[in-house]
Amino acid sequence: MRLAHISDLHITDAPGTAGLTRPDAVTRARALMADLSAFPDLDLVVITGDTVNDARPEEYTVLADVLAGLTVPFLIVPGNHDDRALLRGCVPDRPYADPDLLFHAWQQDHVRVFALDSLSPGEVGGRLLPPQIDWLECQLARPFDGHTLVALHHPPCAAGMGRLDGPILIEGAGDLGDLLDTETLPATILCGHLHRPFTARFGHSMVWAATSTAFQFALDLGAPDEPPTVTEPFQYAVHLLDDAGGHVVHHRFPDL
């Protein structure tokens, strides 16, 4: 199975006025959807939040149009820039496990993905509250012999990025780690939020963070202030997950 991971599209309907977001963010997002749609034999695209910049209805209208250009099945979770109800309205046809939050499960053959909702309204950091943790515990208890992935917006562990490491997953990270540590095959956590690509070990699991089409922070380890944005080649990860437990991650650098 082939799975691509992207994040932090920060779609705006007002190019040039949306904070750090590049004026060409929507154009780049459309080009990314075309690139993903042309990628051979891709089974799933995981989009880990901050789909829009300012959580306004007009932005979700643009987001829906951008996503219409993606011909590969996709999973989407909210980030701190999202509005839960508006995102649900934009992507209504999902087996959400809650009338409010957007967490749900996805499975194809030997791969299962738990899409989690770490949005905490009014906060930059994220939270996984006990009801969602309890749901995940029940899901993980089901007999399964394959790859387990979790998709959420906020990284569950620090990345050595100074100030940016403050508002990550500020509640529920320990519970998440404890649950995933019981998996026989190391679990994979897909996230975004820091607007830089990085990989980390988190207990028995591996964390893969995707960067953003809208803006990327400079690599400034331990910086006390928010780093400047930087223009670097955009990349996204493609995870190859075979039925013998093999897991290879490639990186594609599309010309957006």
Site residues for Fe ion per CB under 5 A: 8, 50
Q: Which of 1/200 has CB closer to Fe ion?
A: 200
* Residues in Cβ contact with 145 at an 8 Å cutoff, skipping those fewer than 6 apart: 110
Q: Which of 132/216 has CB closer to Fe ion?
A: 216
Residue 12 has phi, psi (to 5 degrees) of: -130, 150
CB of 139 to Fe ion, least distance (A): 27
Using N-to-C axis directions, what is the helix angle for 57-67 and 25-38, rounded to 10°? 30
Q: Which of 50/117 has CB closer to Fe ion?
A: 50
Q: Which residue has the tokens 């991650």?
A: 249
Q: Which of 196/239 has CB closer to Fe ion?
A: 196
Contact 50, 77 (CB under 8 A): no
Contact 200, 207 (CB under 8 A): yes
Rounded to whole angstroms, the Cα distance separating 233 from 38 reads 19
CB of 54 to Fe ion, least distance (A): 12
CB of 145 to Fe ion, least distance (A): 35
Rounded to whole angstroms, the Cα distance separating 154 from 186 reads 19
CB of 195 to Fe ion, least distance (A): 6
Q: Which of 69/167 has CB closer to Fe ion?
A: 167
Q: Which of 130/228 has CB closer to Fe ion?
A: 228
Q: What angle do CA 222, 228, 234 make, to 5 degrees?
A: 100
CB of 194 to Fe ion, least distance (A): 8
CB of 214 to Fe ion, least distance (A): 7
Element (H, E) at 178: helix 173-180
Output the six-digit token pair for 52: 């829009």
CB of 124 to Fe ion, least distance (A): 9
What separation, in Å, do the N-terminal and C-terminal C-alpha atoms of the chain show?
Answer: 25
Nearest to Fe ion by Cβ — which residue?
50
Q: Which of 50/59 has CB closer to Fe ion?
A: 50
Residue 28 three-state SS: helix
